[in-house]
């Protein structure tokens, strides 16, 4: 069943991977089945969001987590919860938020 969730989340995971790459990654690691990137900035977020992207600390897409320079101690744990949500409701999770 878990493999089906990974497959259904593949479009979101690929988007997350591309967003991490354009956010200028500094470090990459695997944590609990998620690919975690520490990135330099979410410079592109101001182009697509109405909110102030300078305050964004982390973003999760599928099984990819991007943590920005403002990351705080609990942020990775918080983003891992979003990965679990993607796995529980594959493919449709972004539409539920």
Report the alpha-carbon angle 91-23-10, nearest 5: 20
Cα-Cα-Cα-Cα torsion 77, 93, 59, 42, nearest 10 degrees, comes to: 180
Spatial separation of the C-alpha atoms in residues 77 and 65, rounded to whole Å? 11
Q: Whole domain around residue 9: which residue ranges?
A: 2-96
pLDDT digits (tens, 9 = 90+) for 38-54: 999 988 887 776 556 67
Report the alpha-carbon angle 73-74-76, nearest 5: 100
pTM of the model: 0.90
Structural domains of the chain, count: 1
Spatial separation of the C-alpha atoms in residues 42 and 88, rounded to whole Å? 27
pLDDT digits (tens, 9 = 90+) for 68-93: 999 999 999 999 999 999 999 987 88
Spatial separation of the C-alpha atoms in residues 69 and 43, rounded to whole Å? 12
């Amino acid at each position: 069943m878990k493999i089906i969730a990974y497959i259904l989340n593949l479009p979101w995971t690929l988007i997350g991977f591309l967003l991490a790459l354009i956010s200028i990654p500094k470090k990459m690691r695997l944590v609990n089945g998620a690919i975690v990137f520490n990135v330099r900035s979410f410079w592109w977020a101001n182009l697509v969001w109405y909110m102030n992207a300078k305050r964004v600390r982390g973003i999760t897409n599928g099984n990819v987590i991007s943590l920005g320079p403002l990351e705080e101690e609990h942020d990775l744990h918080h983003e891992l919860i979003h990965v679990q949500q993607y796995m529980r409701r594959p493919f449709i999770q972004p539409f539920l938020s």
